[in-house]
Amino acid sequence: MASKIRLDRLLSESGYGTRKEVKQMIKKGIVKVNSVSVKDPSFKVDPEKDSVTVEGEDVFHTDEFYIMLNKPEGYITSTKDRELTVMELICDIPRFENLFPVGRLDKDTTGLLLITNDGELAHRLTHPKWKVPKVYIATVKGKLSEKEIEKLEKGINLGDFVTKPAKVKVITEDETTSEVEVEIKEGKYHQVKRMFEKVGHPVIKLRRTSFGPLKLGNLPEGEYRFLTDKEVEKLKRATGLLP
């Protein structure tokens, strides 16, 4: 039997927004428990017995967690480390110690990081078989020539492996730096940095903006949100877990 939990926690864990956002929703009176409008975020509900709706839409609670974090610089993508880890940023989530990041972002790399306890989905998202694309915005030294872009797009030999074809688009450039969007379907160690280093344009800053169908959007740096049911469904379709 499931224990009762706060209404705002239920909605947050079900993908309706941050605790702050769902509290505002509840106070507007658009959330009902067993067909009765409830405006108290601390109201206790039993996810297995109570019917909860938001503007008439049923809320489904699950023990599987899917979280998008906008990782800031200075955090290690790990569950345990002597230094700060990304888990410090989600420690207010119940049972956060059972969660783990999907793939890695370097300590100085920012942006979209998926955190979950769904091992099968995590495996498929990172396995090269499923070719899940990842998009980064890289600030690099200098201007890229057409020939250098062509090398990156065709695949480049990094010594220990040859990269798969990438998509590269220069967003802005000046005399000293360029901002470049790059899409890859692999996730080798330091791959994006090594790719640009190989063509003579070291990376100054790197940010991941999408992972498969997930888009970082305007999520503030250092904050997280739960994925919506539709976002989870898209991820599972992208990895063959759903038809």
Q: Which residues are tagged catalytic?
A: 106
Choose among 163, 175, 108, 101: nearest CA to 138: 108
Residue position matching structure tokens 């699950």: 62
What is the rounded distance in angstroms from the CA atom of residue 140 to the CA atom of residue 219?
24
Choose among 220, 164, 217: nearest CA to 188: 164
Choose among 56, 3, 4: nearest CA to 31: 56
What is the rounded distance in angstroms from the CA atom of residue 182 to the CA atom of residue 186?
12
What is the rounded distance in angstroms from the CA atom of residue 114 to the CA atom of residue 220?
15
Give the distance from CA 111 to its chain's centroid. 8
Given a contact cutoff of 8 angstroms between Cβ atoms, the answer to whether 123 and 117 are in contact is no
Residue position matching structure tokens 């929703």: 25
